[in-house]
Amino acid sequence: MEHIVIKGGHPLRGDVRIEGAKNAVLPAMAAALLAKGPTLLEGAPPLKDVEAMAEILGWLGVEVKREGPRTWSVAPETLSRLVLPEELSRKLRSSLFLLGPLLARFGEVEMGYPGGCSIGARPIDFHLKGLRQMGVEVLEETPVLRARVRELRGADIYLAYPSVGATENLMMAATLARGTTTIRNAAKEPEVVDLARLLTAMGARIRGAGSDVVTVEGVGELHGVQHRIIPDRIEAGTFLLALAATGGQGAVQGVVPGHLYAVLDMLHQMGCQVSFTRDRIHLKARGRVQPVDIRTQPYPGFPTDLQNPALAVLVKADGTSIITESVFESRFRVAEELRRMGAQVQVDGRLAVVRGVPKLKGTRLMAHELRGAAALLIAALSAEGVSTLEGVQHLDRGYARLEERLSRLGAAVERVNTLRVD
Ligand code: UD1
């Protein structure tokens, strides 16, 4: 059993380099299946989810190699299986990204339903509806999903919600389809744009990525390339919020500030002094944070993945904040843990009313999912006394050695291994 011990009350100081984006590398690894020849992905974050994706690809027979701590090569020519067992599919939500590329390239796939964080129902109907429009026959059986197609054909697809995953899956499928695919109400997230950049370098014909209409003209084949993953805006936001929560001062480096405008605006409203250059954002906290009302939204709105970390800061604000979660329906589970630290958070469905308190007190905390884990760590850093955080495996799915990097900024955090003797 691993847990993290946090002695709160140390303001963070200094600079931290941000890793590549988890949500960009996972679809990129799947996209590599579309190419004839190997693809080299650079700037991949050293995360458990990336290793899980590599394991899945390896199981399919793909040659996946870690060429360096942050570089992976994916050579799909040796692929020998089109069936993914349930326990592998369940390892991460992103196993779903295999659907588009495998159908486009090999016309067939059988897999278990994807897993992922417990933050809502997370249906996959938009993915399946779009694929069906492209001619795929999908059998939704329990516990597996079977899909096959003789030849994918371009289609005009409308997404009822700008789903990031569905936009990416359909964009990948469309690259090798016959004819043109139009995805309307497409997601505009930077990770969608990064995937389009990768696919375009591979030879795909894509227009409009980053806008709400993406058009893909199918081509005969794609080739392997070398691609650098964009920086992780969510990781950057998490560090900035940790700086704000502890009354600290410092910077995130190697970021694209333009990906974080909604977050920077919120930090500014909280009363923090924020400035940025081309690839660095500097933050200086100024006393107790001011309350802010937040509504999570698709990009370029405030990202749902930073809602919990922002909540963990606002629990100590000088006044009342209202947080509306409009993307995932059950993303306030962390409120219960925060209340045990003395926070005053009332949750009603997708709404949380946060009455700021001057102090939080350290306690024993349990994380249930990735971003909730980061939020609890932030709260513990700003609390009085010692906290222990359990459920660390959730944190490791999306943050690389977070406690080590926080301790370099002056936090008193330590990962502890305890042997349980029952
Ligand atoms: C991606 C991100 C995740 C982020 C989320 C929203 C990755 C690997 N993960 O997740 O970190 O929190 O975007 O920014 O990139 N929906 C449906 N049917 C579908 C698909 C989605 O109803 O077929 C709903 C979801 O339940 C949710 C909303 O659409 O309410 C947005 O989900 P989506 O954008 O698809 O999120 P993911 O791609 O799963």
At 219-271, the pLDDT tens digits run: 999 999 999 999 999 999 999 999 999 999 999 999 999 999 999 999 999 99
Ligand 1 pocket mutation pick from 164, 169, 325, 370 by most atoms within 8 angstroms of CB: 164
Residue 86, Cα to own-chain centre: how many angstroms?
22
Does 294 share its domain with 371? yes
Cα distance between residue 380 and residue 10, in whole Å: 10
Ligand 1 centroid from CA 182, angstroms: 20
Does 69 share its domain with 118? yes
Kindly state whether residue 197 falls inside one of the protein's structural domains: yes
Q: List Cβ neighbours of 178 (8 Å cut-off, separation of 6 or more).
A: 151, 152, 153, 154, 218
Give yes or no for residue 422 having a pLDDT over 80: no
Tallying the residues shown for the chain, one arrives at 422
Average pLDDT score over residue span 290-306: 98
9, 394, 316, 11: CA torsion to nearest 10: 30
pLDDT (0 to 100) of residue 119? 47
Task: Tell me the pLDDT tens digit for each residue of 198-222.
Answer: 999 999 999 999 999 999 999 999 9
Does 275 share its domain with 398? yes
Q: What is the DSSP letter of 394?
A: H
Parallel, antiparallel or unpaired: strands 364-366 and 351-355 = unpaired
Among 173, 193, 228, where does a domain finish? 228
Which ligand 1 atom is the nearest neighbour of the CA of 191?
Answer: 15
Cβ(307) to ligand 1 under 6 A? no
172 by DSSP, 3-state: which? helix
Which ligand 1 atom is the nearest neighbour of the CA of 97?
Answer: 8
Cβ(302) to ligand 1 under 6 A? no
Give yes or no for residue 16 having a pLDDT over 80: yes
Among 190, 207, 228, where does a domain finish? 228
The residue segments making up the domain with residue 275 are 3-19+231-416
Produce one character per residue of 394-422: b if its CB has 16 or more CB atoms within 10 Å, e if not.
Answer: bbbbbbbebbebbbebbbebebeeeeeee
Phi/psi at 227 (5° precision): -140, 135
Ligand 1 centroid from CA 247, angstroms: 33
Kindly state whether residue 391 falls inside one of the protein's structural domains: yes
CB 285 within 8 A of CB 243: yes
Q: Work out the pLDDT band at 407, boundaries 50, 70, 90.
A: very high
Cβ(299) to ligand 1 under 6 A? no
Does 15 share its domain with 115? no
Among 212, 228, 244, where does a domain finish? 228
How crowded is residue 325: how many other Cβ atoms within 10 Å of its Cβ? 23
Does 66 share its domain with 85? yes
Average pLDDT score over residue span 180-195: 98
